[in-house]
Amino acid sequence: MANYRLVTFDAYTGLADFRATLVPVIERILALPADAAESFLTTWRANQLAAAALSNALKRGRMSFHDCTALALDYAAGRHDAALPAGRREELVAAWYPLRSWPEAAEVLGELKSRGCELAILSNGDRAMLDGIAGGLSVELDHVFSTEDSGVYKPAPEVYDLPVDALGIAREGYLHVAGSANDVIGAKSAGVACYWNNRTGDRVLLPGFAADFEGPDLRGLLDVV
């Protein structure tokens, strides 16, 4: 039997490779070379997360992640002096919906299922965005938990309460797979066990909230669960 009843995945770096999906789209729509498209996406992603953090801090209700993404796109276009072709803004934002998963994801998800784990996304995206990612997987997920349901973004502890509240599961009964340092800190500060899919060799800013387990890809999960 598995060590955890439920394994939850951050969508955007824990489960999906947003760069592999989005760089070719940016190259095509904005007519940028690959290195410029990579730089554009780095700015876009950083400000998508900054908009979510501002949404939390201002306490005026959760701005949708779609809108965070659109605002960050406008910022990136201005910052990189890139002209957004007429009518293509929504096409770029919509590219965040069907993201490609990491190459080993299908194998790992299938093995976790065979061990009796329930599988879920637990992520900042709007439900429609997360459903798009889940729908592209070859292994069916059991649940999708969106910050739409908590009203705040990670790393707020309310986000990590979602599986507990929805499923009546004990905190020690689930493992969260994080893709970023802040997600690790959020999970650990909420008392949830965490595996870090740490593909870039990053470190957490607050050492007291380090991941319980980490590896350079998702395969390390199979040694934990």
Class of domain 18-94: mainly alpha
pLDDT, tens only, 156-166: 999 999 999 99
Indicate the pTM of the whole model: 0.95
Residue-wise pLDDT for 180-207, tens only, equals: 999 999 999 999 999 999 999 999 999 9
pLDDT at 86: 83
* Token couple for 80: 């990189």
Cβ atoms within 10 A of the Cβ of 82, count? 19
Compute the chain's Rg from CA coordinates.
Answer: 17
6-17+99-223 CATH, one of 3.10.580.10, 3.40.50.1000, 3.80.10.10, 3.40.50.280: 3.40.50.1000
Which pLDDT does position 102 carry in this prediction?
97
Q: Is pLDDT above 80 for 1? A: no
DSSP-assigned states of every residue in 111-161: HHHHTT-EEEEEESS-HHHHHHHHHT-SS--SEEEETTTTSS-TTSHHHHT
* Mean per-residue pLDDT, 83-108: 94
- The count of other CB atoms within 10 Å of the CB of residue 131 is 16
Q: Tokens 């009546």 identify what position?
A: 168
Every domain of the chain and the residues it spans: 6-17+99-223, 18-94
What tokens were used for 38? 């990579």
